[in-house]
Amino acid sequence: MNFCIVTPCLNAERYIERTMHSVIKQTALSAGDGSIFLEYIICDGGSTDATLAIAERIAHDFSSMVDSISIRVHSESDSGMYDAIAKGFQRAAVADIYAYVNAGDYYAPHALEILDEVFSISCVEFVTGFDVVYNEQEHMVSCRLPYGYSRRLIDKGFYGGLLPHIQQESTFWSASLHKRIDFDRLRRFKLAGDAYLWSVFSQHANLYVVSAWLAGFTIHVGQLSQIRAESYREEHLSICRRPRFLDFLLAARFLMANYLPDAIKVALSSHLIAYDHSSGEYRVRGDR
């Protein structure tokens, strides 16, 4: 499969190398059968530190070593992270699977290899994995299997409010969903562009949870998501339809289910993909 990954960045010299290596090394870690091709686009917003120089060096080094990857670095001013992401996707060639990962966050080894298999399942167009958090020392400090995600509750804005966020770093989508993005609208978001994407995709596909580590979110002191959490929530709610009483009852059920042991989550969850040890394949465990 062809993957397209975009990384927006600005003055991220401390973090860009970690992120780029985690993406680029996916092709080297794959089975080596040529089934995975990666287009990786770095959109720098005009950094005044060494970010651009680091990104260009890494792109040059790996582009000459690995045939199954195309790396491009662009640097120009933008109006924010989602403007940069929109520019990156609009510059991309046609791919099968799309995602973006911010500087400082990074992918698990073999993530794209897992996704290559998972997206081969005919019903799968929209996927996320374990909800993983790292600290600045690159330690995994939290790992949680989500119970599952309701399209109705995505539409009503419950995730990131009463319910845990859908982890952007671990979320990937198909070309058919990618075509439904209004990039002019996406670039106007300052904080909640991810919620806009999930809202668009959930109108057309279920969000499947794969029981695997795909990526994670890194906690940095003073990062935008902490400083402007309330502003994020306000922007998020502007996208969503007003919830009704029955929506709160459904949300309460999902909230309680997230505290169940993983074995019970696997048994009860809808739209969950788990590894089948007997067959050696990832399979859909629930489509209720």
Per-domain residue ranges of the chain:
2-286
**What are the tokens at 263?**
């074995």
Among residues 68, 67, 71, the alpha carbon closest in space to that of 19 is found at: 71
**What are the tokens at 13?**
């010299």
What does the alpha-carbon distance between residue 21 and residue 81 come to, in Å, rounded to a whole number? 21
Contacts of 273 (CB under 8 A, 6+ apart): 118, 121, 124, 127, 208, 209, 210, 211, 282, 283, 284, 285
Q: Which residues pair with 144 in a beta bridge?
A: 131
What does the alpha-carbon distance between residue 74 and residue 65 come to, in Å, rounded to a whole number? 21
Which residues of the chain have a pLDDT value below 50? 288
> By the 8 A CB rule, do 105 and 216 touch?
yes
pLDDT at res. 112: 96
Helix (H) or strand (E) holding 72: strand 69-75
Q: Would you give the end-to-end CA distance of the chain in angstroms?
A: 28
pLDDT at res. 30: 60
What is the percent of the chain where pLDDT is above 90?
79
Among residues 122, 89, 101, 270, the alpha carbon closest in space to that of 170 is found at: 101
> By the 8 A CB rule, do 36 and 68 touch?
yes
Q: Over the stretch 180-228, which tens digit does the pLDDT of each residue have?
A: 999 999 999 999 999 999 999 999 999 999 999 999 999 976 655 555 7
* Degrees, nearest 5: CA angle 146-153-98: 65
* Degrees, nearest 5: CA angle 259-264-265: 65
Q: What is the DSSP letter of 41?
A: E
At the fourth CATH level, the homologous superfamily of domain 2-286 is: Spore Coat Polysaccharide Biosynthesis Protein SpsA; Chain A (3.90.550.10)
* Its pTM surpasses 0.85: yes
Q: Over the stretch 163-183, which tens digit does the pLDDT of each residue have?
A: 999 999 999 999 999 999 999
